[in-house]
Amino acid sequence: MVPLNTLFGFLQDNGKSLACTDEKIDLSHWVGRLIANVIAGFAEGELETIKERSADSRTKLRRVGRWHGGTVPLGYQKVRLDSGGFGLALDPQTAPIVQEIAARAERRESIRSIADRLNERGVSAPRGGLWTAQTVTRMLRSRWIIGEIEYNGRPVLGDDGLPVRRSLSEPLISPERWEAIQAVLDDRKRPKQRRNEPGLLLNVGVCGDCGDALYHTVMTKRDKGTEKERTYRYWRCSAKSKKKIRDGQPVCTTRYAISAGMLEQAVEEMFLAEIGDVERTEEVYVPAEGHGDEIAVIDRAISMARREYDSGAYEGDDDGYLDRLTTLRANRERLAAVPSLPARWVRQPTGETYREAWSRMDVRERRDLMIDAEIVVRARMVSPSVPEIGFHVDHARLRAAVPGFEPPTLVS
């Protein structure tokens, strides 16, 4: 009503009149202004009623798990329910895209690289256009990929205290995997400062003198005569650089940095000689067998109810809170009594050798490949020109993963 009266004041101050389609309203007289306010009041009340009905309808649809309209989430398709209205079911065309994105994020691939891969393949983003890191993150953060309904960023709970699932909607990924991805995304939010590129041997190389981690440095110098820039790369001991002391003595006594090009070339040759012809394995997620997923959902619902109650965010009374917990615990005990196997990761062969994988990978992927193979490189410079390099691979692990594997005999 305030904006309307502001308009009336503007018309009066500027000698204007209001043109009406149904009947003339004389705003120069108080009766005309009264009539206009009454009409506007009825219109405003009707608008509020429509908004309330619409909100109530959407709330009811959310509570029963039906689709209330809008953009269908990627990975799902809208289907008509036998009971009336619409629900969501997995879309065989787009569901694999979401599942691939989740798997890559779970393996800690960078969010930007995931978006770049999708754009290179011509996969459209949920609302069309190109994928961005923000688009991928927003999708991975959403609970709809585990089949749950959320409102204002929080899960919608049913009368049993459990998150409401969409009608007909199977989860694109399991709740456990979703939680694991949230931990990965949370870890990426922590500020990280790095002055140099991480390099091939980050989290692989350690100092041969003290065992502390090696780190990558890049230096640029100009030639005095030609003014051309030359770049020098080294691997240095972190304990030496930080001047760590133990029992009054320096932790590391090495005197020389290691040439990055020389060390990385030697490591590549050792890696390929040791396991280049071995079939590469990778961890594969095996879903829970039995009711493990349902029990995990109930555990999260119990934890959520307790947090709401303890923080004062719970809007019901104490009896309602206790009834919810009692129902949840009873359901958990019933499901826990049924034998089941938990979700787990197993290593499976990929059909690709380590040599084949190495040849197609960039530096970051090669580093991850060595970390996955649990490679450890110990290196130091005995003198300015004499390196000492030790290459360790867990042969026992490879024997368990690859039947018939025997380490090659290396010629020194």
The 10s digit of each residue's pLDDT in 189-218 is 665 544 456 789 999 999 999 999 999 999
| pLDDT given at position 151 | 60
pTM of the shown model: 0.51
Residue tagged 């011509």 (tokens): 122
| pLDDT given at position 63 | 47
Please, what is the average pLDDT of the chain?
Answer: 79
| pLDDT given at position 16 | 75
| pLDDT given at position 410 | 44
169, amino acid identity? S
Domain boundaries of the chain, sorted by first residue: 2-64, 92-193, 205-284+346-401, 291-341
pLDDT tens-digit readout, 354-374: 999 999 999 988 998 999 888
259 vs 220: CA distance, rounded Å: 14
Where on the phi/psi map is residue 244: left (φ > 0), alpha (ψ -120 to 50), or beta? beta
Least confident of 21-30, 161-170, 254-263: 161-170
What percent of the chain is predicted at pLDDT more than 90? 28
| Residue 279 predicted with pLDDT over 50 | yes
| pLDDT given at position 155 | 62
Beta-strand pair 245-246/249-250 = antiparallel
What percent of the chain is predicted at pLDDT more than 70? 75
| pLDDT given at position 370 | 93
Residue tagged 């890049």 (tokens): 218
275 vs 53: CA distance, rounded Å: 67
| pLDDT given at position 166 | 57
339, amino acid identity? P
Structure tokens at 321: 């809170």
111 vs 137: CA distance, rounded Å: 7
**Domain 92-193 listed as CATH 3.20.20.70:** no
Question: Is the CB of residue 46 less than 8 Å from the CB of residue 70?
Answer: no
Over residues 25-34, the mean pLDDT reads: 71
- Bridge partners (DSSP) of residue 279 are 353
Residue with the larger pLDDT of the pair 310 and 330: 330
